[in-house]
Amino acid sequence: MATGPWTQVEDDALRELIPQGVSQTEIGRRLERSRGAVANRAAKLGIFSDRTDTVKATEAKVIDAKARRATLEVRMLERAAKILDRLDADTFRTVLKAEMGAEEIREVDTPLPRDERDLMNAAQIALTSALKVAAHDADTGAAEASSAAGDILAAIKAAAAELGDS
């Protein structure tokens, strides 16, 4: 990894590659500098990349992930409902011990206590999981606050770079 002062050739490479959208990690690899060194030098030179495509791609992934979580939430709620429906059914199939330890499936009028407990636990797990997924996507305003903080930080960095050139 290169250390020491930056050369004009390296500065020119930064001025050329960053606007093309080449990542700081890739630029660092090409110039044999760390990603942090590239970021610091670019900021000092007042070179900022257009992250519009990256932001759009990230937003699309966030939307896709939110849709997948919504689907999972619905599936978990449906699973809990099916489990509870089994408890409320007119008959219930359970495994009973027969002679000599053999197990056999029997139909009974109501679930045995152990079956009811197991099904209630399974329903509770499904409902709790659904609630956690729902809470994850609840709008708390944190995203907007984080975005505003990022905008303020970018403005401060730009102002600091401008002052550094004076």
Nearest CA among 25, 18, 64 for reference residue 43: 18
Phi-psi region of 70 (alpha: psi -120 to 50; beta: other; left: phi over 0): alpha
pLDDT tens-digit profile, the chain (166 residues):
778 899 999 999 999 999 888 889 999 999 999 999 999 999 999 988 777 777 888 899 999 999 999 999 999 999 999 999 999 999 999 998 888 889 999 999 999 999 999 999 999 999 999 999 999 888 666 667 777 777 787 788 877 777 766 5
Question: DSSP alpha helices (H): ranges in 89-141?
Answer: 113-136
What contacts 53, CB < 8 A, 6 or more positions away? Answer: 21
SS3 93: strand
